[in-house]
Amino acid sequence: MQEALSHFAAAPWVAAIALAVVFAGAVVQFSLGMGFGLTVAPVLALLDPALVPVPALIMSFAVALGGALREARAIRWPAVALAAGGRGAGALAAAVVLGGIASDKGFSLIFGLLITGAVALSLAGLRLAFTRRNILAMGAVSGVMATITSVGAPPLAMVFQSRPANEARPTLSAIFTFGTLFSLAGLWLSGWAGMSDLWLALLLSPAALAGFLAARALGPRLDARYRTALLGISGLAGVALILRGLL
């Protein structure tokens, strides 16, 4: 805990921005059922690489669990089982990739490429049929992306876009709850996770709780302009991370 406190104490402005970003991400997640990772991870990675992927994933787990519990009766459990199975396979593949990354620059490059890919998928608005094969396949892609970047929603969003929001939102939250556990296990096995990550996540968690409480009031105000701004910021952060990895 002392190490995590010292980490933020050395740069209070980083902590302030990180808390604000986590708050915004939680509002988006509890309002739409997805979007926490894409809102939070790119900015946190630019602020301080120590905040991703593990601390961001730990907060993603808590946020997704809260969303799933809030609307548990509407969850489609067969879809959760399929997608979570794919997430497990994807997390294992990502752990192998992470084990082969030898430098911070290499991590920034891969992180940035995956973030820009996630933004591109979100902007493209592609739709896939709601079939068992697509749910499993996109779950696996989501597992790779989430384990490396903590952003796993865009691939699954392509499958769930055709579903009613009151069904898709809690089902996705349940998928992300189980899927994040698989990702964290993969990161731990590959040596990327430690106790300091847990403490960093706990220090940021009050902002996520505040976002949960504020989502009911702020959520209805989220419109297409907000989504465009969010994707623009995430895309720019992804490009900046690519440049960091190359230069």
pLDDT tens for 11-27 read 788 889 999 999 999 88
pLDDT(2) > 60 = no
Each residue's pLDDT tens digit, 61-74: 998 998 899 899 99
Angstrom distances, CA of residue 122 to CA of 35, 103, 179? 10, 29, 20
What is the pLDDT, as a whole number, of residue 216? Answer: 79
State the pLDDT at residue 7.
Answer: 60
Q: What is the pTM of this model?
A: 0.91
pLDDT at 224 over 60: no
Residue with tokens 């979007």: 35
Q: How far is residue 80's CA from residue 74's CA, in Å, rounded to a whole number?
A: 12
In which domain, by residue range, is 149 found? Answer: 2-246
How far, in Å, CA of 195 to CA of 1, rounded?
Answer: 9
Of the pLDDT bands very low, low, confident and very high (cuts 50, 70, 90), residue 35 is confident
Is it true that the peptide bond before 53 is cis, omega within 30 degrees of 0? yes
Task: State how many domains the chain has.
Answer: 1
CA distance 89 to 123: 26
